[in-house]
Amino acid sequence: MDSMFRESELMRDKWDVIHFRDTNETYGERTIANAIASTPTTILDNQDQFEEFSFDFLEENTTEVVEDKQKKKFRLTELGNAERIAYEYGHIIKYVNEMGWLIWDGKRWRIDTRKEIERITAKVLRGLYKSEEEPEVKWARMCERRNIRMNSIKDLMPLVPAQREDFDKHEYLLNVENGVIDLKTGELSLHDRDLMLTKMVNIEYKKEEDCQNWKAFLESIFKDVEGDTDYELIDFIQKAIGYSLTSDISEQVMFFLYGGGRNGKSTFINTIKNVLGDYAKQTNSDTFIKKKHDSGANNDIARLAGARFVSAVESEDGQQLSEALVKQITGGEPISARFLRQEFFEFTPEFKVFFTTNHKPIIKGIDEGIWRRVRMVPFTVTIAKEKMDRKLPEKLSMEMPGILNWAIQGCLKWQREGLGEPKSIRVATNSYKEEMDIIEPFILDMCFLNPLAKIEAKELYTAYSRWCEDEGEIALKNRTFYRLLENKNIYKKRGAKNKVFLNGIGLQKEDYKYLQKEESSVTTSTQENALITPFKLS
């Protein structure tokens, strides 16, 4: 019966997977046992009826046929045990140095956290009790010793090898309960162990499913300045989530979800996490916050390897974003990370970060290298307590197939149109950038800008340091201060007596010792001079 089923079109990988831990039976063994138990009459009970149709196929080549059907022989050693296990179960077990054992469960390669490999080993070795050869039965009794079984498992490792890079290589495949979705087309195919997928969305894909409560929720939390539903922003959000279904990080962006309390941020993020299942991870905001001894990728980053959607929850006021790390994880280049007390490994980040916070993290850089990666998503609505729907999470949980379908449609739309940047995102991000310009307040309070002005660099930095002390701010180091001025097109230049000057800026309410005029290289003037009308360069 077993061989007949294996040759039929009904054969599936789960046939050899242990499904019944109380009896250590595979799915196939239980199926055959149930078939036998539910069949009261067999051909042997009606032998006379079928006698005229019987044939003896073993008249001439009996020995040859029997030899073909004999089980393969293995040495009765620990290595022989490993070879026996690999022969019987090698198609559904893999060993990866950094990950441990992985076992195919019929839908995905699952990391073996339940010691399934020990059950498989015990099952195979106890199968020797059925042997008609006494040495094999005796060896089966020897294998009841745990140390023999564990040594056999060690010997099995090099017989079924795999590497971390062998798994989850397909950027546009999404594993779901009822198959594998091709995110390029939205089409569903059967699960396939050769695809080497380890993650799964615990939802069935149903193209016809809708999500009316989810859509109504989005319409209630994304509003424009007039209080009307911002459908352009909702379209962006759908494409952003669809983009997050993939391993593609070509957009090179990080999403910041900003707003006060009771605005739907948590419900939004939690729902998406629930939809994405194994593809989603959550981490503390500290993962992306600059630390005193910031060494880049850490244990938190190692945990995110293989994720596609990452939510970073809440940051404290005044924390600085680790800009180098953000550039690294959004840049598409391999990074090194490691778990505590383990070796470094290299991986290419595939995750899209959704940083949820009531406080905007500080970004000191004002170059495009960091700001082109920032997408500030404004949550401007505050939901009144009496209007809060306490049953909304339950309602949304009933719409998971529809929300998955909504996200897949967003993925297809993103591939057609690109992510884009709606007006509300652009305005919020520009406002964020202006807030983070940490020397702009000093310039507005104490300086004027004019192409004809210049001041000794040391004098301006001294004034800046005094201003920081008066305002309770921490002064930047002089090199950083000058670099930020260069971003505003204010450059250092060496002048008379080997002094270093800054061109294009001066201090207010003082005599301006170095104000350039066309007719004179150096002169003294006061702020009333018509040539020093303040204006903004940047």
Comparing 170 with 473, the larger pLDDT belongs to 170
User: Does residue 348 lie within any of the structural domains?
Assistant: yes
Residue 45 pLDDT more than 90?
no
Tell me the three state secondary structure of residue 146: helix
Segment (H or E) for 114: none
Sort strands 492-494 and 500-507 into parallel, antiparallel or unpaired. antiparallel
Residue whose tokens read 């001079």:
529
User: Does residue 181 lie within any of the structural domains?
Assistant: no
The pLDDT assigned to 318 comes to 77
Sort strands 254-258 and 374-378 into parallel, antiparallel or unpaired. parallel
Q: Are 381 and 448 within one domain?
A: no
**220 confidence band (pLDDT: 50, 70, 90):** very high
Mean pLDDT across the stretch 120-131? 96
Question: Residue 33 has which token pair?
Answer: 């046992």
Percent of the chain topping pLDDT 90:
61
Comparing 489 with 209, the larger pLDDT belongs to 209
**What's the pLDDT tens digit per position in 447-467?**
999 888 989 999 999 999 999
* Predicted structure pTM score: 0.76
Q: Are 8 and 111 within one domain?
A: no
User: CB of 14 within 8 A of CB of 105?
Assistant: yes
Q: Are 136 and 47 within one domain?
A: no
- Residue 20's CB: how many other CB atoms inside 10 A? 11
The closest alpha carbon to 302, from 249, 244, 352, 345, belongs to 345
Q: Are 222 and 316 within one domain?
A: yes
> Domain residues for 483?
440-532
The pLDDT assigned to 529 comes to 37
User: Does residue 200 lie within any of the structural domains?
Assistant: no
Question: Residue 138 has which token pair?
Answer: 């005796």
The pLDDT assigned to 4 comes to 64
CATH of the domain at 304: 3.40.50.300
Domain boundary among 107, 136, 167: 167
Tell me the three state secondary structure of residue 351: coil
- How far apart are alpha carbons 526 and 511 in whole angstroms? 5
Q: Is the dihedral of CA 152, 155, 159, 165 positive or negative?
A: positive
Domain boundary among 416, 435, 454: 435
Number of domains in the chain: 4
The pLDDT assigned to 294 comes to 59
Q: Are 134 and 220 within one domain?
A: no
Question: Residue 39: phi, psi to the nearest 5?
Answer: -115, 95
User: CB of 523 within 8 A of CB of 517?
Assistant: yes
Q: Are 96 and 64 within one domain?
A: no
Q: Are 412 and 341 within one domain?
A: yes
The pLDDT assigned to 50 comes to 43
The closest alpha carbon to 451, from 500, 503, 521, belongs to 503
- How far apart are alpha carbons 92 and 19 in whole angstroms? 14
- How far apart are alpha carbons 67 and 86 in whole angstroms? 22
Q: Are 352 and 471 within one domain?
A: no
- How far apart are alpha carbons 179 and 174 in whole angstroms? 9
The pLDDT assigned to 26 comes to 75
- How far apart are alpha carbons 530 and 517 in whole angstroms? 11
Q: Letter for the amino acid at 268? A: F
Domain boundary among 167, 182, 199: 167
Mean pLDDT across the stretch 51-79? 54
Q: Are 160 and 217 within one domain?
A: no
Question: Residue 452 has which token pair?
Answer: 């004809």
The closest alpha carbon to 302, from 249, 273, 340, belongs to 340
User: CB of 412 within 8 A of CB of 186?
Assistant: yes
- DSSP-assigned letters across all residues of 164-207: GGGSS--TTEEEETTEEEETTTTEEE---GGG-----BSS---T
DSSP designation for 61: S
- DSSP-assigned letters across all residues of 410-452: HHHHHHHH-----HHHHHHHHHHHHHT-TTHHHHHHHEEEEEE
Mean pLDDT across the stretch 349-375? 91
**221 confidence band (pLDDT: 50, 70, 90):** very high
User: Does residue 206 lie within any of the structural domains?
Assistant: no
User: E strands along 220-263, which residues?
Assistant: 254-258
Q: Are 419 and 444 within one domain?
A: no
Q: Are 243 and 340 within one domain?
A: yes
Residue 5 pLDDT more than 70?
no
The pLDDT assigned to 257 comes to 96
Residue whose tokens read 């060690």:
154
Q: What is the dihedral of CA 366, 370, 373, 378, to 10 degrees?
A: -50
User: CB of 135 within 8 A of CB of 161?
Assistant: no
User: Does residue 342 lie within any of the structural domains?
Assistant: yes
Tell me the three state secondary structure of residue 388: coil
Residue 206 pLDDT more than 50?
yes
User: CB of 317 within 8 A of CB of 359?
Assistant: yes
Q: Letter for the amino acid at 221? A: I
**527 confidence band (pLDDT: 50, 70, 90):** very low
Q: Are 423 and 454 within one domain?
A: no
Radius of gyration for the alpha carbons in the chain, expressed in angstroms and rounded: 34
How high is the mean pLDDT of the chain?
Answer: 85
User: Does residue 193 lie within any of the structural domains?
Assistant: no
Sort strands 100-104 and 109-111 into parallel, antiparallel or unpaired. antiparallel
For residue 469, the number of C-alpha atoms closer than 13 Å in the C-beta half-sphere is 6
User: Does residue 89 lie within any of the structural domains?
Assistant: yes
Residue 526 pLDDT more than 50?
no
User: Does residue 315 lie within any of the structural domains?
Assistant: yes
